[in-house]
Structure 1
Amino acid sequence: MAEPTLGRSAQKRRAILSTAQSLFLSNGYQGTSVDQIAAGAEVSKQTVYKHFGDKHELLVAIVTETLSDTVTPFLDRISALADTTDVDGDLAMLARDYINAVLQEPVVQLRRLVIGEANRVPELAQVYYEQAQGRSLSAFTEAFARLHDRGLLVINEPALAAEHFAFLVIGRCVDQALFLGAGSVRSDADLDALAEQGLAVFLSAYRPGT
């Protein structure tokens, strides 16, 4: 089914967001002016301010909407894990998809941008953490608690288990990507193998009878 046609105002807003994100990622937040954003989006400076009160509000909107598009669908996958009948298989698939999701180049670039601006725009870092890591860890916590109740895993501290799963699967790769870029990590590492190795350690700690 074709996407609904956007009105002129919505089209301008999307153009501003897209242009601003591209400029922020290439030039940095401080190195990008509203004049540049307006020129790239082919709108007036007043139009930028009409949709977004200032450059800071624009950056927050980019982070919020990007994370909504990338994180929300994944949260549904995590929630579905609570009802699985194949813990090993579904966790393996989820681990592989998780590591590939966080190593998308736009996601890594956005994370770099947020970290770089954390001192100047601390509330942005708070928004990013709550919308990305915070929501993901909460979803894993709820799913693991349910799997414990069903006797499929032995997890007395679901929140801690959620942290263990996340960092065993993605921790090293995320750190490398922040310094070296997602492309470098993807070309040098077998991501599926890393996900499976991290999951193996997780299951050795939380599988019943181990």
Structure 2
Amino acid sequence: MVSRVPSASRGKVAAKPASGPGRPKDLGKRAAILEAAKKLFSSEGFAGVSMDQTAAAAGVSKLTVYSHFGDKEALFTAAVLAKCQEFMPDDLFQPQPDGPLREQLRAIGHAFFALISSDEAISTHRMMLAGNVDDHLREMFWQAGPQRTCAAFAAMLKARADRGELDIPDLERAAQQFFTLIKGELHARMMCGLCQRPVRSDLGAHIDAGVELFLRAYERR
């Protein structure tokens, strides 16, 4: 909902502009709506969630939900993005001049696997694979989640390559390869319900192996 800016009356000071789109009036309510949406979409699926239901779960009015997000598609996109940023905030991908590349890759690997192995992420991925989900919804999910993460990681790889630490001819492909290595067979088995999240030591070995293979391919000698 777009707020209107009152016109200044003659001889009077103009009123302070109202908050525009993308500038929420109440960050606490926005956070509550997103938290409710993340849980509802992962448990009920896109079709099973209504704006009324989200408002009730967040403890706000339906009008408040619409004023922050506009429609259900925008709310779904924001919920996916918020879930990604919860596990993989932007500063995780910031170049660290004084930090070892290997350690940053490990940190990103652990954060990524924690994200994709969370109950909400697994439920959402299964929803995307269901036959009753249209391509438009899958595209929204992809752009807000995997595509955003891959782009942020590719930018980090470029910064490292510019400093001479990596030799990568195709940054986007390399980013995709890294996350595929981190997923491995382990994530596929979890998606199929064949295993639970591994213990910390086994997960560490799994991620370290992926990082080492990635560096073997792209680390500048």
- Structure 2: stretches of 5+ with no match in the other structure: 1-23
Instruction: Check conservation: 1:60, 1:124, Cα contact below 8 A.
Output: no
Q: Structure 1 residues 118 and 132 mapped into 2: Cα distance closer, same or farther (>3 Å)?
A: farther
* Aligned match of 1:88: 102
Aligned match for 1:23, one of 11, 33, 40:
40
* Aligned match of 1:147: 160
* Aligned match of 2:149: 136
Amino acid of the structure 1 residue aligned with 2:208: E
Q: Structure 1 residues 139 and 124 mapped into 2: Cα distance closer, same or farther (>3 Å)?
A: same
- Structure 1: stretches of 5+ with no match in the other structure: 1-6
Q: Which has the larger radius of gyration?
A: 2
Higher RCO (CA-CA < 8 Å; seq separation 6+) = 1
1:4-53, CA deviations, whole angstroms, 9 ceiling, x for partnerless residues?
xxx99766655554444433333333334555545545566666556655
Instruction: Check conservation: 2:158, 2:171, Cα contact below 8 A.
Output: yes
Counterpart-to-counterpart distance in 2, 1:68 and 1:169: 18
Secondary structure of 1:156's aligned partner: coil
Q: Structure 1 residues 141 and 51 mapped into 2: Cα distance closer, same or farther (>3 Å)?
A: closer
Secondary structure of 2:192's aligned partner: helix
> Could you tell me the TM-score, scaled by structure 2's length?
0.67
Q: Structure 1 residues 128 and 173 mapped into 2: Cα distance closer, same or farther (>3 Å)?
A: farther
Q: Give the C-alpha shift of residue 134 in structure 1.
A: 1.6
Counterpart-to-counterpart distance in 2, 1:50 and 1:160: 39
How many positions carry a matched residue from both structures?
Answer: 198
More helix by share: 1
Amino acid of the structure 2 residue aligned with 1:141: A
Secondary structure of 2:220's aligned partner: coil
Aligned CA RMSD, in angstroms, stands at: 3.6
Q: Structure 1 residues 129 and 86 mapped into 2: Cα distance closer, same or farther (>3 Å)?
A: same
Q: Structure 1 residues 191 and 9 mapped into 2: Cα distance closer, same or farther (>3 Å)?
A: same
Instruction: Check conservation: 1:25, 1:110, Cα contact below 8 A.
Output: yes
